[in-house]
Amino acid sequence: MLKQVVDKNALNTIDLGVISVIFPEAKIVFAIRDPRDICISCFMQAFSSAPATVNLFSWEGIARQYSAVMGYWLTLRDNIQPTFLELRYEATVANFEATYRQVFDFLGVAWHPEVVQFHKRTKGRYISTPSFSAVSDPIYTSAVARWKHYKKQFSPIIKELEPFIKAFGYSDQDGFFNHGR
């Protein structure tokens, strides 16, 4: 019997090195999103105080934590045994079905058309994630490039995020990297 474990906690990225040694046959779906949107999203969350969230209470702390976790992923991804698929948030929002058909193919799982209606299955269920309210909604695009509404606030952290913006192929159309710091 094939067993699958799904864990969407981004901080469990730090366990991927161990997972790759213990489970070299594992398939990892690694979600990526524009680092600036991730920082905005974290800043707007009311995280409870815990060792894993202590860095998420300041703007600079959010950038440092993002840098540490994603720096580890960039180092690890080319050296781990499990196969992985980087899943772009923006692709999911732009074309959910096509993107998730790729995920299902990658995982070797049969596609079911009702997956597109995921939000209907969450109604009335307890969801214990910071994004609990968004999980029950249909796909929406308002969180894509939301960081652009807060460009000025990025000057203290843009140097920390710049390597990841570039590594994941996000645009510098606003010229952050050349000036404006």
- Read off the pLDDT of residues 113-153 as tens digits, 9 standing for 90 and up: 888 877 666 666 666 665 555 666 667 778 899 999 999 99
Question: Which range scores top for mean pLDDT: 4-18, 83-97, 117-131?
Answer: 83-97
pLDDT of residue 180: 43
Sign of CA dihedral 87, 89, 91, 92: positive
Sign of CA dihedral 31, 32, 35, 41: negative
Query: Using the 8-state DSSP alphabet, how is residue 109 labeled?
Result: -
Taking only the tens place, the pLDDT of each residue in 21-76 is 998 888 899 999 999 999 999 898 878 788 877 788 899 999 999 999 999 999 99
CA distances from 140 to 31, 94, 134 (A): 17, 9, 9
- Domains identified in the chain and CATH numbers: 10-163 (3.40.50.300)
Checking if the pLDDT of 110 tops 90, the result is yes
Mean pLDDT over residues 91-106, rounded? 93
Tokens of 48: 């409870």
pTM to 2 decimals?
0.83
Instruction: Specify the higher pLDDT residue, 160 or 77.
Output: 160
Query: Which residue, among 133, 117, 113, has the nearest Cα to 125 in the 3D structure?
Result: 133
pLDDT of residue 12: 82
First to last CA, the chain: 54
Checking if the pLDDT of 181 tops 60, the result is no
Instruction: Specify the higher pLDDT residue, 65 or 8.
Output: 65
Query: Residue 69 belongs to what H/E stretch?
Result: helix 59-76
- Spatial distance between the Cα atoms of 54 and 62, rounded to a whole number of angstroms: 9
- Spatial distance between the Cα atoms of 138 and 120, rounded to a whole number of angstroms: 8
- Spatial distance between the Cα atoms of 105 and 138, rounded to a whole number of angstroms: 23
The amino acid occupying position 164 is: F
Tokens of 77: 């991804």
